[in-house]
Amino acid sequence: MTATQTPRIPGLTFRQRASRFDVKVSPYLYVSPFFLLFALIGLFPIAYTLNVSLYQWHLLKGQGAFVGLGNYADVLGDALFWNAFGNTISIFLFSAVPQLVFAVIIAAVLDQALRLSTFWRMSVLLPYIVAPVAVAVIFTQIFSQYNGPIAGFFEWIGVDPIRWSFDVIPSHIAVASMVNWRWTGYNALILLAAMQSVPRDLYESAAIDGASRIRRFWSITIPMIRPTMIFVIITSTIGSLQIFAEPKLFDQGSAGNVYGGSNRQYQTLVLYLYELAFPRRDFGHAAAVAWLLFLIIVIFGIINFLISRTIAGQDARPARRARKGGTPS
């Protein structure tokens, strides 16, 4: 018997062997339904979409001729794709960046000793449970060019009303506002849970050494919640690049089979994919857009991961000094 071999225990009963087998195997059986369902409704559609993207594929007629990467070349040569790509990046910047900033601020405030803390924590989550349709109806009225409260404010101060539904940047801000309003509180609670797991003695040691509250936040809190921040950044990036419901519901009624405004001024990549798939019934090009969007999300996710890890890691040494009792100057 070699040193790496496990010695066999003689004289085990059948029940003891079954118990040992249960301890080793049952955890995998418990988690297997998730992986089986994920393979069925997740991996299989992804692989099938890749297959569709290589053919001329009509919604009603089905599979046509094999074109290889021709669908990808056609999509990349389409000006509408790049318009949708630019709109998606713009809405992503207007949504993901302010969303993260306000989520961190709200989480930091809720992490303090507040009265009715449970009430405030539940309150920031209320926008998340509101249906996207209701959010779109509310914000459509808020950003109405003539009848909304914002238009009334601009009229009161003597400024011409902004064409929120027709101009490019204002429409992107309006759509991003819906996303921020709905998801900021959700991300704030995730960050709050990470902040509450930070040992309080680190703050006490830093305060005794003379570190200000802001310095303690940057030198202790941010480095300690780095994994959670990376998670929030990546999930926010994925959600912002896949945005569909908000611009679709914000659409005031475009002519024909055009989605994302009358001039596609806030048409995102998913709306462009939707337009290809259903009004045009061109599943081959729609599947190609889906895979290009997947690659874009992977690239942005990697970039955000590297940037967030670098920024959060800059204050890791002060946090370690604070943990050891040093001054985070």
pLDDT-wise least confident of 178-187, 211-220, 300-309 = 300-309
pTM of model > 0.85: no
Contact 66, 54 (CB under 8 A): yes
Q: Residue 320's pLDDT band (boundaries 50, 70, 90)? A: low
Side chain identity at residue 104, one-letter code:
V
pLDDT-wise least confident of 99-103, 235-239, 253-257 = 253-257
66 φ/ψ angles, rounded to the nearest 5 degrees? -75, 125
Q: Residue 230's pLDDT band (boundaries 50, 70, 90)? A: confident
**pLDDT score, position 329:** 43
**pLDDT score, position 20:** 80
Q: Residue 7's pLDDT band (boundaries 50, 70, 90)? A: low
For every residue of 159-222, DSSP letters joined together read -PPP-TTTSHHHHHHHHHHHHHHHHHHHHHHHHHHHHHTS-HHHHHHHHHTT--HHHHIIIIIH
Contact 165, 171 (CB under 8 A): yes
Q: Which helix H or strand E contains 57, and what residues bound it?
A: strand 55-58
Q: What is the mean pLDDT of the chain?
A: 83
The distance from CA 208 to its chain's CA centroid, rounded to whole angstroms, is 39
Q: Locate tokens 């309150």: which residue?
A: 123
Contact 181, 139 (CB under 8 A): yes
The CA R_g of the chain, rounded to the nearest whole Å, is 26
Query: Which of 299, 181, 304, 293 shows the shortest CA–CA distance to 235?
Result: 304
Helix 226-241 / helix 79-110 crossing angle, nearest 10 deg? 150
Q: Residue 64's pLDDT band (boundaries 50, 70, 90)? A: confident
**Percent of the chain whose predicted confidence (pLDDT) is above 90:** 26
> Would the pLDDT of 158 be above 80?
no
Domains and CATH numbers, the chain: 79-129+182-324 (1.10.3720.10)
The two structure tokens encoding residue 207: 């305060």
Distance, in Å, from the CA atom of 287 to the CA atom of 53, rounded to the nearest integer, reads 5
For residue range 282-319, list pLDDT tens digits in order.
899 999 999 999 999 989 888 877 876 676 555 455 54
Distance, in Å, from the CA atom of 59 to the CA atom of 287, rounded to the nearest integer, reads 12
